[in-house]
Amino acid sequence: MQSNILYDKFNSIVNKKFVIFVMGPTASGKSALAMHLRKYLPVELISVDSALIYKHMDIGTAKPSSIELSKHPHRLINVVDPGEWYSVSNFRRDVLQSIQEIFYMNKIPLLVGGTMLYYHILLNGISALPKADLKLRRKFLYCKVLGDKNFLHKYLSIIDSDAAKIIHPNDIHRIIRALEVYFITGQKMSILKKKTSNVFPYDVIQFAVIPDKLCLYNKIKYRFYNMLHQGLEFEVRKLFYRGDLNIESPAIRCIGYRHMWLYLLHEISYNQMIHDAIIATRKFAKKQMTWLKRWPNVHILCDKKLNLLTEKILYLVYRRYLYTLV
C-alpha cells in the first residue's frame, strides 16, 4: 500500500523531464537496485553497459535473466550480434531516442550501468569523428598480421603522437580507430576529439553505488565461479566456433570472454584463465570506483541493504524535484 502511495506521488513529477543515473562498479548490485526502484518510481530502464548490448552473451556479462527482463524491460540490451560494431555514437543516438520515447510515455528514464565512457559521452557530447569504415579497419588488421607486434602503434605515433601517448600499444581497437579517423578526415583524432557538440539537454540526478572494496572483490570472485557453473565455457565455445570472431573482436575483448578465448586457443591453462579473469574484473572495478569518486555532481551510496539504498534515492529525488522544480 505504501509503495503505491509513493508511486502516485512521484507520478506527478514526470512532466518535469529529468533523468536518473544509477552508476556503479561491476557486481555492485546496481541492476538489482534499478529494478527494485520500479516498485516506487514510474521509471523505464535503459542499460548503460558496453557488454550487455551483445546478443548470445548472457552468462559472462551477468545479464539480467529472461524472467527479470520480462518483468523489468531494459532498453539497449541485446541490441547487436557479437560480430557487429557498436560505437559510442551509436549508443548516444539510441539512448537519446529511448529517453524521448520514455518521456512520451510520461515516465522517467532511469539509466543503469557501469560503462563510464558512455555516461561521459552522453553528458558532454560527442566529438566530431567520422563513422566506422569496416573495409579500412580490415586493411589495418591485415597490416597488423604482416607487421611486428607494435607496428600499428608505431605508425600512429608518427601520424598522431598525442593520440599514441594515451593509447596503450596493446589496445588495437583504439589504435585502429585513431588511424581510421586520420585516413578518412585527414585530421588527427586528438584534435577532432576536442570539438564536441550536443551536450545532454535534460536535467539529471546521478547516483553511484560504491560498496566496500573487500566485499566487492569477494563478490566478483564468487560471481565468476558461478558463471562457470552456469556454463560460461559452453557459451564462449559457441562464439569460438562461429568462425567470424577472433580475440580482437570488440565483443570478445569483454572481460571473461577474452580469457576463456585464450584458454580455448590453448594459450593459457584453465586455472590461469580463472585467475586472470578475476584479477582483470577486480582491476576494472577499481578503475570504475576511482572514476566515480571523481565524478561531478554525484550522490555516493555506500549502504549494503537494498532497502536503504532505495530510501536514499527516493528521498533525494523527492526533495529535488517535488519542491525545486515547478
25 is annotated as contributing to ligand binding: yes
What pLDDT does 152 receive?
87
27 is annotated as contributing to ligand binding: yes
Average pLDDT across the chain, whole number: 90
Decide which of 302 and 7 is more confident: 302
Spell out the domains of the chain, with CATH numbers in brackets. 2-127+197-321 (3.40.50.300), 134-194 (1.10.20.140)
115 is annotated as contributing to ligand binding: no
26 is annotated as contributing to ligand binding: yes
Confidence of residue 313 (pLDDT cuts 50, 70, 90): very high
What pLDDT does 325 receive?
40
Judged against a pLDDT cut of 80, whether residue 171 lies above it is answered with yes
Stretch 295-303: mean pLDDT: 94
Candidate from 20-34, 100-114, 144-158 with smallest mean pLDDT: 144-158
Stretch 228-233: mean pLDDT: 98
Task: Encode the chain in three state secondary structure.
Answer: CHHHHHHHHHHCCHHHCEEEEEECCCCCCHHHHHHHHCCCCCEEEEECCCCCCECCCCCCCCCCCHHHHHHCCEECCCCECCCCCCCHHHHHHHHHHHHHHHHHCCCEEEEEECCHHHHHHHHHCEECCCCCCHHHHHHHHHHHHHCCCCHHHHHHHHHCHHHHHHCCCCCHHHHHHHHHHHHHHCCCHHHHCCCEECCCCCEEEEEEECCCHHHHHHHHHHHHHHHHHHCHHHHHHHHHCCCCCCCCCCCCCCCCHHHHHHHHCCCCCHHHHHHHHHHHHHHHHHHHHHHHHCCCCEEEECCCCHHHHHHHHHHHHHHHHCCCCC
What pLDDT does 16 receive?
66
Judged against a pLDDT cut of 80, whether residue 3 lies above it is answered with no
Give CA–CA dist 322/326, Å, rounded.
Answer: 8
Stretch 155-170: mean pLDDT: 88
Judged against a pLDDT cut of 70, whether residue 319 lies above it is answered with yes
- Write the pLDDT tens digit of every residue in 109-148: 999 999 999 999 999 887 667 777 888 888 887 776 666 6
- Write the pLDDT tens digit of every residue in 231-272: 999 999 999 999 999 998 999 999 999 999 999 999 999 999
Judged against a pLDDT cut of 60, whether residue 324 lies above it is answered with no
24 is annotated as contributing to ligand binding: yes
Range among 3-12, 172-181, 230-239 with highest mean pLDDT value: 230-239
Cell numbers representing residue 135 in the block? 573495409
231 is annotated as contributing to ligand binding: no
28 is annotated as contributing to ligand binding: yes
Confidence of residue 102 (pLDDT cuts 50, 70, 90): very high
290 is annotated as contributing to ligand binding: no
